[in-house]
Each structure stands twice: as structure tokens, then as C-alpha cells.
Amino acid sequence: MAGPGIKTTTLGSPKMRLDKWLAQARFFKRRELASDMVSEGHLRLNGQHCAKPGHGVSVGDVLTFPQADRIRVIRILSLGTRRGPAPEAQTLYSDQDAAAFPDPASSLE
């Protein structure tokens, strides 16, 4: 059963608003900040520019957006039901650039 704020499309795959998912996954402190970033055109959804905060996202979608001093590439693994603690939020996505760019601090000896 889909949680609150999750809609099922005619094809049967559940979808959630992009700005809501970004806030639940804790990439932004507030949904308004996520909405502003998307509206300004700084996000790509599956390689295509997306400027609508209400665009539906589903499991398997790939998001590319700037955060602080880096570009995040995220694959959605799950649609959340609430904005929970950080460990819970980290189960919602897979960081695709972590394998391509290892942490430089870990290579220091």
C-alpha cells in the first residue's frame, strides 16, 4: 500500500512529488528549498532538465543536482512515507558518484 503523498499512475508504478522526495531524503532542510532549486532549473531527472517541483518521481529514477561544492548523482531506491532520521533517509537512495569518486581522505596514510 502506498503511503500518504504517494500516487499510483495508470501503469501501476507509485510516484511522489520531486520536491517532497528531496526533502524526505534530507538533501534539503525544507521542501521549499528543494522546490526553489528545482524551479531554478538546477536538477536533471534521468538526464533531462526538470523545472517542475511537482514532477513525479519513482523508484529507479536518477537525479543529478548541485549540493554545496559537488554534483550529486542519486538513484531512487524507495519512496519515503515521512521525513525521518538520517539513517532512515539514507535507505531511500543510492549515491551513484560515491564509487566513481572515492573519498580523498580515505587514501591518506
pLDDT of 13 reads 79
> So what's the architecture of 6-98 in CATH?
Roll (3.10)
pLDDT in tens, 28-56: 999 999 999 999 999 999 999 999 999 99
Where are the domains positioned within the chain? 6-98
Q: How far apart are CA 76 and CA 62, in angstroms?
A: 6
Nearest by Cα to 14 from 27, 3, 29: 3
pTM of the model: 0.79
CA dist 100 and 65 (Å) reads: 16
